[in-house]
Amino acid sequence: MAALSSVALLGAAATVHAQQNNRFTISGYVRDGATSESLPGVAVVHPASGQGTTTNTYGFYSLTLVASSDSVRLLVSALGYEKQRLAQKSDRSFTHDFHLKTSTAELADVEVVGSREEKIAESTRMGTINVPVAQIKLLPALFGETDVLKVLQLLPGVQGGGEGSSGLYVRGGSPDQNLMLLDGTPIYNASHLFGFFSVFNADAIKNVELIKGGFPARYGGRLSSVVDISMKEGNMQKLHGEGAIGLIASRFTLEGPIKKDTASFIFSARRTYIDILARPLIKAQTDGLTAGYYFYDLNGKLNWKLSSRDRLYLSGYMGYDEFYADDESTNDDGGYFKQKSALGWGNRIAALRWNHVVNDRLFMNTTLTYTRYQFDVGSTQEDRYKDSNGQQRDEKYSLNYLSNIQDVSAKLDFDYVPNPNHYIRFGGQFIRHQFRPGTLQSEGSIDPSQNQATGRRIGASEGSLYVEDDVKLTDRLKVNVGLRVNSFLVDSKLYPSVEPRVSGRFLLTEDWALKASYARTTQYVHLLTNSGIGLPTDLWVPATAKTQPQKAQQFSVGAARNLRFGGEDFELSLETYYKPMQNLIEFREGADFVGTTDDNYESKITSGQGWAYGAELFLQKKTGKTTGWIGYTLAWNNRRFPELNQGQLYPYKYDRRHDFKLVVIHEFSPTLTLSGTFVYGTGNAVTLSQGRYQLGSYETFEDYGSRNSYRMAAYHRLDLDLSHTKKKRWGEVVNSFSVYNAYNRKNPYFIYLGRAAGSEKLSYRQVSLFPILPSFSKTFRF
């Protein structure tokens, strides 16, 4: 709390100083001139003094200047938009909103990463990358389905879990250590189709930001990264639609004004139709079995402009995956047997947000959120038959297993800009968690006394306060210093934590900067993860009196450089990091989710430590007809658990020594674009049997040796995409042809012990998932 008081005093002192020097403030919003969407990260500069600022997440800016007899001249610029100037004679505070027009001359100069105008050498932030959705849509996609998380996997320091997986393993962390936010609301499971696609529909998204180090104090609750995704607000000027038809799924988005310049909406839907296409074939080959799999997503948002100082947003998302199998048979005596089995999982979230401009230097955002993730697997049987006495019997039995997590949250955030040398953020959040790690329910008509439901709900409360200041100390030195204070209460056990955060840059020259950061993080939720592949049977559990919260520290040091070759701009960065982690959890040897309930999960887990360290090199070209980036990561990722691997250090499953990514996008013309991605990575670490021993006639023992002591073959793949745009009177059509795994590399998916055809000798055999896969999709916009 002392830090909160210090920053408050700092802000007050800065305000008094501004008043004494006869300063005034210009504030307002920067929006897209065609849609009225707010534009985050836009540079607002006063060229005469060199002072400037950038718009916040909601497009709001505030710039305080010294009064003079000259006219106030501001310059507003963002890539893809025409620069806009303001010249106004005033020595008093006033508001002005900018509406930027799309620049036809700069349409080819789309930024690949880092859409903010602040140069990489000037920013205090480390490990932060902003990925424009326009670029995400241009890259090759599996089965033609654009995927946000797969694009993030192409960045240095970020790995995918395996072939086709949308999971993120950031700087040695696991997927549960990533805070996935959609409009400020956490998503607990971001995967569709057993991990091959993510839940984020690119047509409904406005902005994607990845933070993998140097975490600002306003983010908390996870150890490894923040993926902050903002939905579109809805076009306030005219009706706009967009959709696509692909091989396995189709999607459609509609947005427009409810009342022009006052209220708008956006609605987006996506569904696969694998089950519909495959259903007749399955029935024909299985004598009546109905089986299939599908997933769907629904996104919606309403946006009201209540006044020049107030905005209200209501957004929501609902998505679900379901695999089902229904079988039915009949008897000659009129009886039947029915069996229905299903496996499903999905998310539901909602967010109500109120933006309020308190004054020309203070911006407030209030958010109420709800999120729920649930996993279900179950089977129901019905049997009608005649017993030995000729009496008709009806029997029913069902067995279901479910696990879920639910949060209700209230959050209050403030942005305070007393002068151009300080950008202060502070606020707090309260979350009420409810966990059901595992509940087994059985019900039958034979003996109702055996009906039961095991498991219990676990409630927990989490609170946090934070403050941070992005302060320019000298022309060369700029730092972001902050503090986050958390508490977590579960079953009368209180876990407090204090998390200092600091990052900074020192300019060696105008284009060279040294950077460093430190962050302490705490995570109060755990994910019990199976070592197997495929099913979403991971269980969310809270820290308890027996299971302590996860903790980590991250130290980063690096350098950044703005480059210019042949009239083209490049950005180069090198970052090194070291991240020790404590209180990580794993299933004990031989344990898994089967039979795991709220009452026994703590007896099935063990805790340990982890260490991740490495270096990341990132070179990006942001403008011109050819854009893209090169990323390389050299990393180590180890674990130690007293009850696993005989207490010895072992490599984490996704320890990857070398990781290389290449992304190239070339625009031949405004209507023809070719893009390609190439990835190479050291193979995953796995545990294999080193020997087999048989005692007696039936007992066989396996000697597995050290944990994760074997490496799969290296993973590499080339993907290509060619997109052609046709202009129509009503809009445009984009035809995209993609090739996944263009040179048909047989990458390992998993390894099993088996026999080759015609051989009695056991050997390890590799299973590859995807060969070369061409796909086609048609996108339309109006």
Number of alpha helices (DSSP H) and beta strands (DSSP E) in the chain: 4, 49
- Tell me the per-residue pLDDT of 336-378, one tens digit each, with 9 for 90 and over: 778 888 888 899 999 999 999 999 999 999 999 999 999 888 8
**Residue 525 and residue 613 share a domain:** yes
**Residue 190 and residue 61 share a domain:** no
d(CA 366, CA 354): 5
d(CA 294, CA 192): 9
Nearest to 679 by CA among 615, 633, 636: 633
Name the pLDDT band for 74 (thresholds 50, 70, 90): confident
Q: Domain containing 14: what range?
A: 2-106
**Residue 189 and residue 102 share a domain:** no
Question: Residue 412 forms beta bridges with which residues?
Answer: 366, 428
DSSP secondary structure of 312-323: EEEEEEEEEEEE
Question: For residue 93, how many C-alpha atoms fall within 13 Å in the half-sphere facing its CB?
Answer: 16
- Classify residue 657: in a domain, yes or no: yes
Nearest to 489 by CA among 543, 429, 547: 543
**Residue 184 and residue 64 share a domain:** no
pTM across the whole model:
0.86
Q: What is the mean pLDDT of the chain?
A: 83
602 token code pair: 């703590």
Q: The tokens 């674990």 sit on which residue?
A: 639
Cβ-based neighbour number of residue 237 at 10 Å: 16
**What sign results for the dihedral spanned by CA atoms 331, 336, 342, 348?**
positive
d(CA 440, CA 447): 17
Nearest to 740 by CA among 761, 714, 713, 717: 717
- Classify residue 92: in a domain, yes or no: yes
Nearest to 52 by CA among 42, 60, 44: 44
d(CA 660, CA 631): 6
- Going by their DSSP bridges, the two strands 225-231 and 178-182 should be labelled as parallel
Name the pLDDT band for 69 (thresholds 50, 70, 90): low
- Tell me the per-residue pLDDT of 585-639, one tens digit each, with 9 for 90 and over: 887 776 665 555 555 667 778 889 999 999 999 998 877 888 889 999 999 999 9
pLDDT at 530 over 70: no
d(CA 418, CA 416): 6
- The predicted structure's pLDDT at residue 666: 92
705 token code pair: 């040796």
Name the pLDDT band for 695 (thresholds 50, 70, 90): low
178 token code pair: 């990533």
CATH number at residue 64: 2.60.40.1120
Nearest to 58 by CA among 30, 80, 84, 99: 30
- Tell me the per-residue pLDDT of 233-286, one tens digit each, with 9 for 90 and over: 999 999 999 998 888 888 999 999 999 989 999 999 999 887 776 666 666 666
- The predicted structure's pLDDT at residue 15: 45
469 token code pair: 């200041």
- The predicted structure's pLDDT at residue 538: 66
- Classify residue 394: in a domain, yes or no: no
DSSP secondary structure of 464-481: EEEEEEEEE-SSSEEEEE
- The predicted structure's pLDDT at residue 647: 86
Domain count, the chain: 2
Name the pLDDT band for 568 (thresholds 50, 70, 90): confident
Contacts of 208 (CB under 8 A, 6+ apart): 130, 131, 132, 133, 136, 148, 152, 227, 228, 229, 230
CATH number at residue 413: 2.40.170.20
- Classify residue 116: in a domain, yes or no: no
The CA angle 35-39-43, to the nearest 5 degrees, is: 135
**Residue 499 and residue 374 share a domain:** yes
Percent above pLDDT 70 for the chain:
86
**Residue 24 and residue 68 share a domain:** yes
**Residue 452 and residue 409 share a domain:** yes
- Tell me the per-residue pLDDT of 711-752, one tens digit each, with 9 for 90 and over: 888 999 999 999 999 988 888 989 999 999 999 998 887 777
pLDDT at 512 over 60: yes
- Classify residue 701: in a domain, yes or no: yes
- The predicted structure's pLDDT at residue 72: 81
pLDDT at 8 over 50: no
726 token code pair: 């046709």
**Residue 552 and residue 442 share a domain:** yes
- Classify residue 393: in a domain, yes or no: no
pLDDT at 487 over 90: yes
Secondary structure of 166-189 in the HEC alphabet?
Answer: CCCEECCCCHHHEEEEECCEECCC
634 token code pair: 């050299």
pLDDT at 659 over 70: yes
- Tell me the per-residue pLDDT of 368-415, one tens digit each, with 9 for 90 and over: 999 999 988 888 888 887 777 777 777 888 888 888 899 999 999 999
- The predicted structure's pLDDT at residue 552: 95
Choice among 155-164, 222-231, 609-618 with the minimum mean pLDDT: 155-164
Q: The tokens 């948002």 sit on which residue?
A: 301
CB 627 within 8 A of CB 665: yes
Give the residue-averaged pLDDT of 665-689. 89
Q: What H or E segment, with its residue span, contains residue 17? A: helix 2-20
pLDDT at 697 over 80: no
- Classify residue 558: in a domain, yes or no: yes
Long-range contacts of 476-481 (CB under 8 A, 24+ apart): 476/506, 476/507, 477/504, 477/505, 477/506, 477/507, 478/122, 478/124, 478/504, 478/505, 479/124, 479/503, 479/504, 479/505, 480/124, 480/125, 480/214, 480/216, 480/504
More confident of the two residues 113 and 737:
737
In the three-class reduction of DSSP (H, G, I as helix; E, B as strand; rest coil), residue 18 is classed as helix
**Residue 280 and residue 239 share a domain:** yes
Give the residue-averaged pLDDT of 746-772. 78
- Going by their DSSP bridges, the two strands 23-32 and 94-95 should be labelled as parallel
**Residue 343 and residue 235 share a domain:** yes
Choice among 118-127, 158-167, 453-462, 627-636 with the minimum mean pLDDT: 118-127
